[in-house]
Amino acid sequence: MTILVIGKQGQLALCLGAAGHKDVVCLGRPEVDLADETLLARVLNMVTPKIVINAGAYTSVDGAESDAENAFALNRAGPAALARLCAARGIPLIHISTDCVFDGEKAGPYEPDDEARPLSVYGESKWQGEEAVRQLCPQHLIVRVSWVFSEYAHNFVRTLLHLARTRDELTVVEDQVGYPTYCPDIAEGLLTMAAAAVQPGFAAWGTYHLAGMDETDRASMADAIFAASRHLGGPSARVIGVPTSDYPTPAKRPLNARLASTTTFLTFGIRLPDWKTRLEHSVRVLTSDLAAAPAAEPKR
């Protein structure tokens, strides 16, 4: 069965491609574009997938604040077109979403059916994309992920290691909590969900969370990254924890980004491992990548 992944160079698309599943076909721009419905239709007709995973999105959370038109084009209109095209062909759609649909005010981890109250343009665009998929493609799995890291593409681990090459101290927020999740584990989980969804009689369509279960805050995660890097002889910096109120960014982020994945376990039997067991591998690959690239300026 062919599993068509929309996206090719992004973190999740790379992990889905690297998962070694012989049936996965990853297509990104220019072969496929979420902003081009005709191209999407042509690709679906050519590939005739058994199921589609949409790993493509406008993902710059801060960038979306001043680029709402493009954020909504890729995160709402694109998934809406894809959902319509999939439904017309009887193809199930797995659509990836985010913790940023929530405001982070809840005391505990978010359940899939908790009320969405996005704080940012990015979060609002992703929420409206979810709603479009729900309305237009009955055979959908909307899968929210958060705090995704890996040795692939851009993510928090790569950014911090990169910055530590030229800085001795880094300011990191200490009051945003979440469940860091290793992207190759998400990819494996999505492929398990895809395999279940194409079985005859599958009926558990709906919204799910796919995240780890080990809580941390951003500053503590940064400490763990640098501890692993120091151990491997890589770059590290002293982490100065600050409240979010002292670290203004264009987009507001939820202070609580914890996604409860219990229903994903009960429905699909998926439980993701502790992120700390995955961190060393990512740091090892990234530090050796960074060692090969010159730092922009010497460390102060």
- Contact between 41 and 94 under an 8 Å Cβ cutoff? The reply is no
Whose tokens are 């940012």? That residue is 120
Q: Give backbone dihedrals phi and psi of 245, rounded to 5 degrees, phi first.
A: -60, -20
β-bridge pairing 51-54 and 148-149: unpaired
Q: One symbol per residue from 107 to 146: x for binding ligand NAP (CB under 6 A), - otherwise; what is it?
A: -------------------x------------------xx
Q: How far is the CB of 156 from ligand NAP (least distance, A)?
A: 7
Among 43, 51, 98, 235, binds ligand NAP (CB under 6 A): 98
If residue 149 lies in a helix (H) or strand (E), which one and from where to where?
strand 148-149
If residue 159 lies in a helix (H) or strand (E), which one and from where to where?
helix 156-164
77 forms part of the interface with ligand NAP (CB under 6 A): no
Comparing CB distances to ligand NAP, the nearer of 168 and 206 is 206
Comparing CB distances to ligand NAP, the nearer of 35 and 260 is 35
Comparing CB distances to ligand NAP, the nearer of 33 and 151 is 33
**Binding piece for ligand NAP, criterion CB under 6 A, among 24-32, 158-166, 199-207, 260-268:** 24-32
188 forms part of the interface with ligand NAP (CB under 6 A): no
Give the whole-angstrom CA distance, residue 93 versus residue 276: 31
Comparing CB distances to ligand NAP, the nearer of 254 and 294 is 254
Give the whole-angstrom CA distance, residue 114 versus residue 96: 17
| Cα angle for residues 7, 9, 14 (degrees, 5° grid) | 85
Active site residue 247: no
Among 43, 55, 93, 187, binds ligand NAP (CB under 6 A): 55
- Contact between 95 and 194 under an 8 Å Cβ cutoff? The reply is no
Residues in binding contact with ligand NAP, number by CB under 6 A = 29
Amino acid at 142: I
Q: Which residues of 16-28 are buried (b: 16+ CB within 10 A; e: fewer)?
A: bbbeebeebbbbb
Among 57, 119, 173, 221, binds ligand NAP (CB under 6 A): 57
9 forms part of the interface with ligand NAP (CB under 6 A): yes
Which residues are catalytically annotated? Answer: 122
Which residues of this chain interact with ligand NAP, rule CB under 6 A? 6-13, 28-29, 32-35, 55-57, 59, 74, 96, 98, 126, 145-148, 153-155
